[in-house]
Amino acid sequence: MSPLSTFGAKIYVAFYLGLINKAEYDDLVLIKKIRNEFAHSIERLNFETPKIKDRCLQLQTLNNTKPPKEMFDNMDKVRVLFQTNITLLASILFDNIKRIKHLEEYEYIKS
């Protein structure tokens, strides 16, 4: 098994490489726990299951952007919150990687 074969290891490395901040790290750890609950529970779970809902409501990334309340009207609010946090975290990570690659290209051209 390779050192980066687990989601947890990838989260850890992304944080220590500076690709994500502490709040993003914490959210990714919560997402990993939520995913594991769904994958390994013998119970039938959904986003209204208390342990899932509680973890989803702890996600910080989307809350830091102050989304409009209308975004959650007439939908499964917890599921939408979870999915939107994942999308936002993926965008942040891809943007940070892109920025690092741009800096590397700049340094190469500069030298």
pLDDT at position 35 is: 95
The Cα 53–Cα 36 span in angstroms is: 14
CB 32 within 8 A of CB 7: yes
Contact 84, 62 (CB under 8 A): yes
pLDDT in tens, the chain (111 residues): 677 789 999 999 989 888 889 999 999 999 999 999 999 999 999 998 999 999 988 998 877 766 666 655 555 788 888 888 899 999 988 888 887 766 555 555 555
